[in-house]
Structure formats: structure tokens, C-alpha cells
Structure 1
Amino acid sequence: MKKRVSVVAAALFALIVAVVAALVVVSAPARAAAGFTVSGGRLLDANGNQFIMRGVSHPHAWYASQTGSFANIKSLGANTVRVVLSSGARWTQNSASDVANVISLCKQNRLICVLEVHDTTGYGEESAAITLDQAVSYWISIQSALTGQENYVILNIGNEPFGNNESVSANWATHTRNAISRLRSAGFDHTIMVDAPMWGQDWRFIMRDNAQSVFNSDPDRNTVFSIHMYGVFDTAAEITDYLGRFRSANLPIVVGEFGHNHSDGNPDEDTIMSYAQQNGIGYIGWSWSGNGGGVEYLDMVTNFNAGQLTSWGQRIFNGANGIRQTAREATVYGGGNPPTTPPTTRPPTTPPTNPPTTPPTSPPGGTRGCSATYAITGQWQGGFQADVRVTAGSAAISGWTVSWTFANGQRVNQSWNATVTTSGSSVSARNVSHNGSLGAGASTAFGFLGSWTGSNSAPTVSCAAS
């Protein structure tokens, strides 16, 4: 009997210990994930706020001396820069110290760094291209520069890791899963970005159809998919169908590269940007400057000069649904919680579904009218850039016209988001189709490039509403 009591007592003691241990485990706080995370198909920054990439690619591997580009890209409104790096297989290797400096420049300029290895481009077609596994070896070799930077850095394992060789591209899912596994096993806690095969355009839908299995293979469930949109995506239907399937599946997708034109066709950049804005999808345009090989038209600025925007640069930075209008800084830099759609004080991404054909005859509680402000946002010898913000009065308006007279002989050379006409020194700017209808107190903006000699004083502007 004594022995039985001892056994029962021992068993009871063991049970108490187990319960206490269980309580301790339950009450222990969950370990916060490091840096960026993915939740519900959305990318969240380290503060748990949604982050929507609005940025451009910078060819650092080929123009390593152009370190001023980080500040210049930020000055035009970007919240992200995708940085081209080389493992050393095809171009000069970017060392750990160089990558650490790149990250420092991103942080100084309050940009999120998407780092990519470019040597994988076109594997299966390009004889010098390396595998994703070799790219992972490079990441591991410079891990010292990356550890602890999870709040600011996203790892894009390899650029366009397969060409159009279908038998090789068919292995995309296996190679990608293995690469993610190696990075996680090596201790990388960063959000990982993976490019599509077939020069990034996935025209056989290999990434699309295998994305769920690849995402599930990541033990951190912290993988983002990147589609590159060039000639394959030349219609609105192709763009909305591809991106829409990821959104419906709650899988995170970004447009990791796109342009306004390309040798393989004419991408529909307007739909890319508008659909991305409407659906909270990130986009990164190609590319800042320094393009060659017949695609020089993809330069956004001339000779790395932020004061010389090309037509493509004007479109992506200053156009409808462009970077300046829609980018929100990551809250790890102290910015506000980035909304998934522009606030009411910003222009609508698209006209209302059923816009009124005429304004109400008696606007309730307000007077139809508008005001405008004129600001010089950049100036260089002989040239300048100006932005004009239009704000509706206490009632909604369906259109606006802003007028002013230059006092010093300035001229408007190129404009966006408004139809501008000039007569001598007099200038008139009228809304375009997507930004005329404004709710009470709502604002929109347009801009232009101009020329000046002698002086460049800001004129007094007036606004008339309709």
C-alpha cells in the first residue's frame, strides 16, 4: 500500500510539473518575426503595416560609382530601390563591404532595398548564366552584410533565373524551393523575392501554377513572387488576369520589372500601374539610367541626372498612378501607416464607376469652386520643374482650369496630368479625363518641365471650376 501511495504521489507530482510547464509555455510571448513578413497575401513591414513597393531598379553592379542615385531616386518620391548586384560570375563581384554600403545608402535615404543577383539572367539560354543554387552561395558568402538588416532589405534571389528553354524552365519550382530552403537553413530571416522563369515573364504560367507549393515550402511563409511585364503583357486583359489570380489565391505578387516599351512588344504600362494601385500591388520600373544594347529608351533619367527626366521617367514618376502620387514611405522610417488606396486628398486612380454627367444644380452645404498652388520642385541652369496642386472648394466639381502669366519669359516645354496651352506669357492648364472630378476639399496635381533665362519667379495662379 505504501508503495502504491508513493507511485500515485509520484504520478501526481509529475502531472503538476507538466501542467505548470504547459502554463509557462502558453503564457510565454510569441517571438516577433524579424523584419518584413507576409500575411494574407500582403507584404507587411517590421511594424506590421502594409508596405506597397513603388520604386525603380538601379544598375549598381555596372555603375558602382553612381552612389548619388539613391538620394536622387528618393527625391522623385520612390520608397523602394531594386539594386542590381553581381556574384562575380558574369560581372565584377559586389563584395560584402560594398553591399553593406548600398544598404547604408538605402537607409540614409529612407528607401527599402531589394537586392538582386543578376548573373542568373536567362539560365538555360545564356551560357554564362548561373543557377539559383550558385546565387544562394553568393548570398551566403556576403551574409555578414545582411544579417540584422531584415527591416530594410528584401532578398531577390536571382534575376529572371530561366530563359525560354521550356525543358529547363520546367524545373523552376524545384530550383526555387531548394534555393529558399538553403537560405532558411543558413539563417536568413529576410523576406525572399523570387522571379518568374522565361525571362521573368512566365508566359507558360510555370510560376503562376506552382506559386502555392513554393510558398508553402518556405518554413517562414515569407516569400513574395515577382513577375516582369514587358511585351508578353501588352493588353489589359493579360495583366489583370495574371495579377488577379495571385490576389484571389492570397499569394503576394509584385511587378518586379516593367517598362513603357520593349523590343518584344509594347507593354500596357497604364494598366500595370492603375491595377497595381487599385489592388495594393507593388511595382518596380526598369530602370534608372545606363541602359544599353538597344533598350536605351528604358532610361528614366539621362546620364544619371535626376534633373533630366526622359519621357519614361516622366510617366513613371509623375504620371497617373505614378510613384510621386502613390508611394508611401515604409513606417520603419517613421512614416504613417501606408494606405492601400490613395487618401481623399490625392487624385483618384480611376474615374468613378458611374461618374455624374453634370454636377448637382444646388451643391448642398458648399460653394462650387477651386484653388491652386504653384511650386518649383527642381531647378537647373536654363530649366526647371514645377508642380501645381488643385483643390476643390466646399462642394464637388467636375472639372477645373488653372491659369497664370509668367513674368520673366518662362516657357512650358512638357506637361503631365493636364492639357496645357500657352499664348505668349499666358498659360492655361485644363484637367484631363481622370482627374477632373473632385469631391469637396479633394485635391489633385499636375506638373510640367519649363525653361527660363535670367530669373524664375513663381507666378500667381487662379483656378476656375466647372
Structure 2
Amino acid sequence: MRSPERRRTVPRTAGLLATLLGLLLPLLAVTTPAAHAAPTGFRVENGRLLEASGNDFVMRGVNHAHTWYTDRIDALAHIKAKGANTVRVVLSSGDRWTRNDASDVADVVARCKQNRLICVLEVHDTTGYGEQSGAVTLSRAADYWISVRGALAGQEDHVIVNIGNEPHGNTGYANWTADTKAAIQKLRGAGFDHTLMVDAPNWGQDWTFTMRDNAASVFAADPDANTVFSIHMYGVFDTAAEIRDYLGRFVAAKLPIVVGEFGHDHSDGNPDEDTILAVTRQLDLGYLGWSWSGNGGGVEYLDMVTNFDPARPTAWGTRLFDGADGIAATSEEAAVYGSGSGDDTTAPTAPGTPSASAVTASSVTLRWGAATDAVGVTGYDVVRLDAGAETAVTSTAGTSATVTGLGAATSYTFAVYARDAAGNRSPRSAAVAVTTSPGGATGACAVGYRVTGEWPGGFQGEVTVRNTGNTAVDGWTLRWAFPAGQRITHMWGGTPVQSGSEVTVTAASYTATIPASGSVTLGFTGSRSATNPSPTAFSLNGADCSVT
């Protein structure tokens, strides 16, 4: 996938012609490479991806757009909780988007391991090279991997390096073979022992069969014989015959192949997701659906959950996780985590009793003490208790959550469960009772919100906070909720913390005091999807403000 924007349409006439010609070609022939040192982690043998233990590993997972949503790292826990064994994480070399440095990469790897996920890391800046303005070469992507090697060395049994996303568009794709070989050899020369993954050209869909017909020579060019091929299946793969033929040729040639991206619909055609899922199960091939959340530019329908909320699955997410041949039915955790035989039956301890803060007429923030577990807690589930019945409220990887959508002047009771990677759930925490603030009446404050500029995927805004009371406000916290998934990326005049749609801003030293009848103004930049509606409610120090 290019980004949370639209994908470039593939020329269908040429694709169909190539398909017909491809049916006349003989099956691929694989060349056995020269003897090589045994990989220290994942390895390829006889066309299969194996763990260091020799366990056959079949990827069952999704893509997560980390580089555009670095504050959504808790998504990894949510993805694991849905049953995935792998996550493909979008990174940037800094050429087109903000660079993910070695510290961030190390944190991503640590979070994958904490959540018992295999981590496929990819550089997205190569997307559509030769056709997409600003895209960079696979050689440039290899340089990025070398620059962050310190975060990856020793992680060969947990991390697969996907050199570059969709590294050629529909222009210059004939260079894919030489460019891919050179990038592989550059990384091997720099000491990378990881399994490497390489994407197809033609925006990942290989309608020219460039990857298919040159995969054997690319595999032979890897001195470690440890490369996996990745095909992205969107509009080009809209029939069962195309899907079976493409994947079947790799299997027959004993060349490792995964479906690195696919969806249930797309602007370039309607992929046959049912066949993709069925055939990958039949052939024991891995797949990684696109994508968890955060899509924009007209392909928002590819989100698996709404606004990164695991409690709000979309139709696509429900199909992929819970449908026939989906993740829940076919995923097996990597043996490196030691639970492949289901030996982890010990539940985490109960979380600490939640405490309530920032109570308003419609929301409350809950915080609780961390649970413990022998192999690690992967997340927490907040529930509401009503006459003995439980209602799921939200899930989170951390020890706090903001619950919204509450009624004014209403009593609620909340409790929390912890869970681990094997699916064990803790005893329920002690409960906390909360009564929301009365609605209607507002505090001595008024807030004005306006958008001062917009561009594709982003915008700049301004918030003016007015003290309508008779005494000065000395120190303040402002809260609001974005209605359409907007995210603050930078702010001046205050320090923002965002959890889901909920924003909490504490005053900067120079805006902390608001004189009676005075005001302060905050400015910020943010990211957005296709729409950008304004927030409709604000609270200052827990009191609701009028909106001007």
C-alpha cells in the first residue's frame, strides 16, 4: 500500500495480456545456491519459512501504519489479542516521511516481542519508485537498514526485514531484478543475517510477472539463500484462477511466497479475498492483510477497526479475523515464544483497583495498577458492571483508559481484566464507582476552535480559551474529543496527550494564567482523513465550557 492515500491504478489491458502469456510459460526453475552459513534465526528451506527451531512458520497477521501513527503503538497488543501471530510494521527512512530512528525501531521490536508477535519491518519510502515523486531506491532503503542495524542485530529469530515496499511502479519495473539482487547483497555484506523479504514491482502486484519470472535468480543471488517473496493482491487479483496460478507457480518451484498485503476491495478493482484466504490456507502460505487502521484518501474502507479502537471492528476486520480461513481459525503462535504446544495456562494476576479522574458530564479517565504474568501481560480490558452483568467498554495495552459516551449525572461502576499472549484472562479487579458531572450548566469558560489551514492528510488549527469568570485561572487542563480521527502532531501554547479521539492539553508556563475576562490561544498542526469536522465540546479543569 502506498500510504493512507489512494493506490495508483494498474493498466488492466497489459495485465490481462501478461496473464495469458504467463500461462504459456513453464514453471519456474530454482537454482540451488552455493553452500552458506546456517542462519541464526528464521531460514528458508525447500521453499518453506522455518524458525530457528525448525518449526514451519505460516504468517497470519496484518499491516500497521506505524510511521504515520507512532503514538498508536498499543495497536500491537490489540492485533495480538485478535489472534495474529505476525505484524508488518510500516517504517520510514526519512526520505518521504519522518524517519524512524534506531531507538524507535528497537521499541517496535520490543513491543512485538512483548506481545509475542513476529515483526516484519518494511521501509515505505520506496513505494512506486520510478513513477511516484519522491520515492527512493532499494539501495537507499538498504542504507537505512544498515543505519539502524544496532536495533536489529540479535533479533533474527523475531524479525524479518522487508527491504522496501512496492519498490517500482509501472515505470522502470524491468530494473527490479538487478535492484533487488544488489540490495540483498548490500545487506548481507553489511552483516545482516535476517530473513529478507522482497516486494514485487508494479505497485506490488506484479502484473508484468517480473518478480514471478525472475524470482529463482534473485533467490540464488542471496548468499544466505534466505529470501522470501511478497506479492500484494488488490485489483489485479480479482479472479480465483489468477490467484491460484500465481501462488501455485511459486510453490511448484519451491520458492517461498507470502501475500504481504491484500484487501477486500480497492479503487483498481475488487480482489477476491475469499480465494486469497482459501488458497493460502490450502498451500500453507502466509498472509498479511492491509491494514489495522488509519487509512485515508478514499480507501478508508480498508481499516479493520474504526479509529484504532479494537472494540469497533469494521466488516473487513470481522471478515479477516473471524471469517472462514481467517486469522482466528488458522493462526499459530511462533514457537520461539514457547507456547506453540499451549503450555501457558497460568492467568495474570488481577490488576489494581481503578481510580477515577478527569470526570466530566460525558467521560472519565481510569487508572489502575499493573498486573503481573510469567510471560508478560499483553493488555487490559475495561468492563462496565450493571446489576451483575458485564459490558465490554474498551481494551488498551497500558494501565489507563478514557471512557467516553457517558450520560450526565449518572452513576457507573467499572472494573478491569488483564490478559496474556496465550489468551489467559486474569481475575477481575476490584470495582470503582463513578458519578458523572451534571450536564447543561457550564463553567466560567468559553472555547473557540477554528481550522486555519488544510492540506491533503493534514491541517493547522487554533484553540482560544476564554476565562468568563471574575477571578484569574492559575493553571489549567483543557479536554476535548476529535470527531473524525484527527491527530495532533505538534502544539504550541500547551502540551497535548492524545488517547484515541480524546485530547488532554496542559498549559505551557506562558499560558498557565488566564486573567478574569482574558484569554489564551493555542496553535497546533494535525493529521486528518478525508473529513475534518470541529470538536463540539470542551472542558476546562473538569468544567464544561460554552463553545463559541
Q: TM-score, normalised by structure 1?
A: 0.66
| Conserved 8 A contact 1:49-1:337 | no
Helix, strand or coil: the match of 1:202? coil
How far apart are 1:290 and its partner, in Å?
0.2
Cα pair distance change 1:274/1:196, threshold 3 Å: same
* Aligned pairs (5 A) from 1:11-160: 32-160=38-166
Give how far 1:58 is off: 0.3
> Equivalences for 1:284-303 in 2 at 5 Å?
284-303=288-307
1:173 aligns with 2:177: yes
User: 1: distance between equivalents of 2:277 and 2:337?
Assistant: 25
Q: Residues 216 and 31 (structure 1 numbering): CA distance in 2 closer, same or farther, change over 3 Å?
A: closer
Q: Matched residue pairs, number?
A: 318
2:247 pairs with 1:243: yes
Give, in angstroms, the shift of residue 160 of structure 1.
Answer: 0.3
Show CA shifts across 1:195-244 (max 9, x none). 00000000000000000000000000000000000000000000000000
Query: What pairs with 1:342-381 in structure 2 (closer than 5 Å)?
Result: none
State the 1:378 CA deviation: 7.6
For residues 243 and 380 of structure 1, the distance between their equivalents in structure 2, rounded to whole angstroms, comes to 44
Q: Percent identity?
A: 66
> Residues of 2 paired with 1:289 and 1:108: CA distance?
21
Partners of 1:291 and 1:244 lie apart in 2 by 31
State the Cα deviation string for residues 421-465 of structure 1 (Å, max 9, x = none). Answer: xxxxxxxxxxxxxxxxxxxxxxxxxxxxxxxxxxxxxxxxxxxxx
* Aligned match for 1:280, one of 269, 279, 284: 284
CA–CA separation in structure 1 for the residues paired with 2:384 and 2:130: 49
Q: 1:224 aligns to what SS in structure 2?
A: strand
Q: Give the structure with the larger strand fraction.
A: 2
SS in 2 for 1:307: coil
Deviations 1:116-147 (A, max 9, x none): 00000010111100000000000000010010
CA distance in 2, matches of 1:57, 1:381: 31
Q: For 1:326 and 1:253, how far apart are their aligned partners in 2?
A: 17
Residue in 1 aligned with 2:29?
none
1:195 match: 199
Q: CA deviation at 1:336?
A: 2.4
**8 Å contact 2:184–2:222 — kept in the other structure?**
yes
Corresponding residue for residue 226 of structure 1: 230
Q: Given that residues 307 and 379 in structure 1 are in contact (C-alpha distance below 8 angstroms), is that contact kept between their aligned partners in structure 2?
A: no
Query: TM-score when scaled to structure 2?
Result: 0.56
CA distance in 2, matches of 1:94, 1:73: 21
Instruction: State the match for 1:462 in structure 2.
Output: none
Question: How has the CA–CA distance of structure 1 residues 71 and 246 changed in structure 2, closer, same or farther, with 3 Å as cutoff?
Answer: same
AA matched with 2:47? G
Distance 1:307 1:103 in 2: 25
Q: CA–CA distance in 2 between the matches of 1:311 and 1:141? A: 40
Indicate conservation of the 8 Å contact 1:300/1:310, yes or no: yes
- Which letter maps to 1:270? D
**Contact 1:51 / 1:330 at 8 angstroms: preserved in 2?**
yes
Match of 1:322 in 2: 326
Q: Gaps spanning 5+ residues in structure 2: where? A: 1-35, 343-379, 392-548
When residues 298 and 33 of structure 1 are mapped into structure 2, their CA distance, relative to the original with a 3 A threshold, is same
Q: What aligned pairs does 1:204-215 form with structure 2 within 5 A after superposition?
A: 204-215=208-219
The AA in structure 2 aligned to 1:179 is A
- C-alpha deviation, 1:46, in angstroms: 1.5
Aligned-residue offset at 1:55: 0.3
- In 1, Cα distance between the equivalents of 2:384 and 2:124? 37
1:208 and 1:380, CA in 2 relative to 1: closer, same or farther beyond 3 A?
farther
Larger radius of gyration: 1
Q: Structure 1, unaligned stretches of length 5 or more? A: 1-29, 339-376, 384-406, 411-466
